[in-house]
A = this chain, B = another copy of it.
Amino acid sequence: MIVALAGGVGAAKLLVGLSKILKPEELTVIVNTGDDIQLHGLHVSPDLDIAMYSLAGIADETKGWGIQGDTFHCLEALNRFTGSEWFNLGDKDLATHIFRTNLLRSGATLTEATQEIACALSVKSKILPMTDDKFETRVTTKQGTIHFEEYMVKKGAKDEVLGVEFYGSDKAQPAEGVLEAIENAERVVVCPSNPVVSISTILSVKRIRQALQHAKVPKVAVSPIIAGSPVKGPADKLLRGLGYEVSAFGVAELYMDFLGTFVIDVADASEKKRIEKLGIKVELAETMMRNLDDKIRLAKAVLDA
């Protein structure tokens, strides 16, 4: 079984690539929940949803979030009640949040709710939230400390990052099945997601990090930074804000305590030696995923690394 650690869009692309090579039941995905947010009383799990929608083949790949061809009629009507909505919630997408919230309120864990959603969407790979516990990624800028999604979506990730807080990480336990998945994995894949707010969140759950350190299997990550820039999103601001270099090397430093192999872009060949000095094997690949072929090619590279 292949276990992937996943955040948002970058992960979703590699997951699609992996899903074309592996049988669904050969893939387990452990997903960041630091982005989870309550909106209008609904529990929204952006990364769980993009992972499931992508594997279900219904994700809106152009937007990078939500469901293909979705409409926004409910959101428009909500605007009338609440003023201006900053977070986009499509009508079909809302069904997921309504269903999930109702399950959670009825006493289900996020893991259980996710399983029901995945099942209804015919996603046969196992999708696991990293934790069922309260966990929230907060970003500090000059204006103060806000939820990561507010920083990202409401504020457009424009402000310089002064700090990142993983609220709840001290108490968060791995969700049911997470440790077992890592212990039984043939290989662990760290997707090319934001190293700070997608992957470090997962790693901040202590027992997950320990399980990764102890797992005696190939542990392969793909760099989300190509030639000093993130493919998408504010990874540069976040790395810089935490004092890390905005480079494949900077990401490698975050993963060095457990990582075996780092797949970096051919454009970053010059960083190979520096990264190897951290004790990490380096492989070069074309890591930009523009189409399905790219995704499958990179997935193969990751499974072969």
Contact = CB atoms under 8 A, between A and B. Distances in A.
Interface in A228-243: none
A98 B116 contact: no
A142 interface: no
Given A71-B73, A73-B71, A105-B41, A82 B94 contact: no
Contacts of A269: none
Interface of A: 40-42, 67, 70-71, 73-78, 80-82, 91-96, 98-99, 101-102, 105-106, 116-117, 120-121
Contacts of A94: 74, 77, 94
Nearest to A41: B102
Given A120-B80, A120-B81, A73 B91 contact: yes
A107 to B, nearest CB: 12
23 contacts: A40-B98, A40-B102, A41-B101, A41-B105, A42-B98, A67-B77, A71-B91, A73-B91, A73-B92, A74-B74, A74-B95, A76-B92, A76-B95, A77-B91, A77-B92, A77-B93, A77-B96, A78-B95, A81-B96, A81-B120, A91-B91, A94-B94, A98-B98
Given A71-B91, A78-B99, A80-B120, 4 more contacts: A41-B98, A74-B94, A81-B95, A82-B99
Contacts of A76: 92, 95
Q: Of residues A41, A42, A77, which shows the largest number of chain B Cβ atoms within 10 Å of its Cβ?
A: A77
Main secondary structure of the interface of A (DSSP, over half): helix
A74 B91 contact: yes
Contacts of A77: 67, 91-96
Contacts of A117: 81
B81 A116 contact: yes
A87 to B, nearest CB: 13
A63 B70 CA distance: 25
A68 to B, nearest CB: 12
A102 B105 CA distance: 13
B78 A98 contact: yes
Contacts of A71: 71, 73, 91
Contacts of A120: 80-81
- Top 6 closest pairs, chain A to chain B, by CB: A77-B95, A41-B102, A73-B91, A77-B92, A78-B95, A81-B99
Contacts of A102: 40-41
